[in-house]
Amino acid sequence: MRDLFDEIAEAAARDPQEAVRQSTRGPQRKRFYTQAALAPAEGGFAIVLDGKPVRTPARDVLVIPDRGLAEAVADEWNAQGEEIDPMSMPLTRLANSVLAGVVGRVGLVAEDVAKYFQSDLLFYRAGHPEELVAREAEHWDPVLFWAADTLGARFILSEGIMHVRQPDAAVAAARAALPGDPWAIAALHVVTTVTGSALLALALLHGARSLDQVWAAAHVDEDWNVAQWGADAEAMARRAAKRRDVEAAARVLALHRPA
């Protein structure tokens, strides 16, 4: 399975849309196992297929630290049909990413998330029409108020797309709220890059916003355009794929308990 998941992971790193297209190219691999289950392992629970451990693209045994999260990953393997579709296994792909690229590099991943505190989606507001301005405020202002009141991070808003430098104190306060655990920061990174907002990701992590609220906030402008001009089928398919990744990240945040 190494090459199959490796190809998808590399494509996703270059371009999420390419990952979606690649998942539909050519024949999928035939299912070669009967049952996925858990086995105790150092650091948590290994995912085993008919007793044999699943390995990451780097050939490490796929070990999940929490039983609930490990069961959810095993469920993805058990849900496969006659062929294995990696794009229908977002938790497995996220777990592979954590073990291969985040463990030992938490600081680098956190810094990548922290970059969004200078250019977060929530900072840049429409000037018109009034209904769109109101929708952005409805979905975005509560998160900014939460960041100010709870984190002590007070950011500056801008109309349009002109960049505004954020106060160092606000960036530092928000940065301090990022987790130091590889699983949590990896999940946070997924939510941040898909939504364009590290503040939405933090609000999800800390329970200030639900998954549905985060998703709606991330798509205020897109939903406005869809309402005016209609939906593009290909764009909606890409959006659905991204939603699955964000749902997987939210499950990690909900099920993982850092040591």
Same-domain status, 69 and 162: no
- My answer on whether 32 and 156 are in the same domain is no
Residue 113 domain-assigned?
A: yes
Q: Which residues of the chain have pLDDT under 50?
A: 1-26
Instruction: Please identify, among 86, 115, 148, the residue that sits at the C-terminal boundary of a domain.
Output: 86
**Which distant-in-sequence residues (6+ apart) come within 8 Å of 127 by Cβ?**
133, 159, 160
Q: Which of 54, 86, 118 is at the close of a domain?
A: 86
- Report CA dihedral (164, 170, 171, 174) to the nearest 10 degrees: -130
Q: 207 is written with which tokens?
A: 């329970």
Question: Are 131 and 241 part of one and the same domain?
Answer: yes
The pLDDT of residue 161: 79
Range of the domain at 28: 2-86
- 109 alpha carbon, distance to own chain's centre: 13
Q: At what angle do helices 182-195 and 106-114 cross, to 10 degrees?
A: 30
Q: At what angle do helices 106-114 and 198-205 cross, to 10 degrees?
A: 120
**End-of-domain residue from the set 27, 53, 86:** 86
Domain-located, residue 100:
no
158 and 58, same structural domain?
no
CA distance 180 to 203: 16
Domain match, 42 and 120 both: no
The tens digit of pLDDT for each residue in 45-103 reads: 999 999 999 998 889 999 999 999 999 999 999 999 999 999 899 999 999 999 999 99
Tokens 């954020």 appear where?
166
Q: Are residues 68 and 121 in the same domain?
A: no
The model's pTM: 0.88
